[in-house]
Amino acid sequence: MRKGQRNFLLSMISAIALLSPGFAGAASPTPSVADFAGMWSHPWIPGYEPMASGPTSLTNLSRRRGVANSLQLVGDYNNPILKPDAAATVKRLGEMSRDHYGYPTPRNQCWPNGVPFVLATDGMEVFQRGDTITFIYQIDHQVRHARMNGVHPAKVTPTWYGDSVAHWEGDTLVIDTIGIKPGPFAMVDWYGTPQTPALHVVERYRLLDYAAARDGLDRASKENTLPPNPLMIDLDYRGKHLQVQFTVEDPNVFTTPWTATVTYGRPSGEWVENICGENPHKYGTEEDARLPTAEKPDF
């Protein structure tokens, strides 16, 4: 995509975001305690940064050169956070990954990623406008909104990214999300950990100096794979980083709430447009993507 075309696209997306509920008619915009606005990058895959201790996200049993093997996604089904049925699902999918090309995920099937899966996307842009925080994710230009100082409705209509409300705790932005709609390929992480309508995610965003961000970056490097030519991040960047610490609860899947982080730096240049549905064919290495289709209007 040409630079001018990309800028036009981002302008249109921004305009749509500004017209979304929470922007129009805001009588008294909520001031931001910290400025998270701008583009952020986290190109490591599969993305999450497991904590050093305590209940945390799954790691990859398939290793290559001391780190997770991104070509084989074999989640640690022995992780005590998993209930037996969930552990069996993760084990089954891991065996598929070892034996063949893998298994369908919302990312490789071009479906909305949902929360928290979308947090592992290569990059995102944050807009702080009035009473709403808007996230635009680099993969498929997925858009998500969080209402500042809002409350969840008594009856939530499930959606792909759920109902998100946010508030400030000092300089930390806290986002609480429920009502996350499970799709046909819905999963909590790249290892196929399942989810149910009871899924509840709490994100805590804060800016960190580089020295404080190193812990998250080191955990990312230990458990994830960085592409050979990571155009999406400036590896020499030593400025402020944005880290989200997120906690996941789903009593139908997990024995306990668990926590992980994703630490974002700054991109090294402009994003390359990445639209999954433009290339649903896998050239014989795996099945074509099962693109989402609509048989009837969703309104």
Nearest Cα residue to 182 out of 114, 244, 94, 127 = 114
Q: How far apart are CA 189 and CA 119, in angstroms?
A: 9
Tens of pLDDT along 141-160?
Answer: 899 999 999 999 999 999 99
Percent of the chain with pLDDT over 70: 85
Q: What is residue 3's predicted lDDT score, i.e. its pLDDT?
A: 45
186 occurs within a structural domain: yes
Helices (H), ranges, 161-250: 210-223
Q: How far apart are CA 11 and CA 239, in angstroms?
A: 26
Q: What is the mean pLDDT of residues 89-99?
A: 94
Q: Is it the case that residue 225 has pLDDT exceeding 70?
A: yes
Residue 177, in any domain of the structure? yes
* pLDDT-derived band at 136, boundaries 50, 70, 90: very high
217 inside domain: yes
Angle subtended at Cα 70 by Cα 67 and Cα 73, rounded to the nearest 5 degrees: 105
User: Is 19 within the bounds of a domain?
Assistant: no
Task: Say how many domains are in the chain.
Answer: 1
Query: Does residue 281 lie in a domain region?
Result: no
pLDDT at 7 over 70: no
Q: Is residue 215 part of a domain?
A: yes
Task: Tell me which residue range forms the domain holding 102.
Answer: 37-123+147-276
Q: Assess whether pLDDT exceeds 90 at residue 240.
A: yes
The pLDDT of residue 197 is above 90: yes
pLDDT at 187: 95
The verdict on residue 10 lying in a domain is: no
Please write the tens of the pLDDT for every residue from 118-132: 998 888 999 998 899
Q: Is residue 2 one of the residues assigned to a domain?
A: no
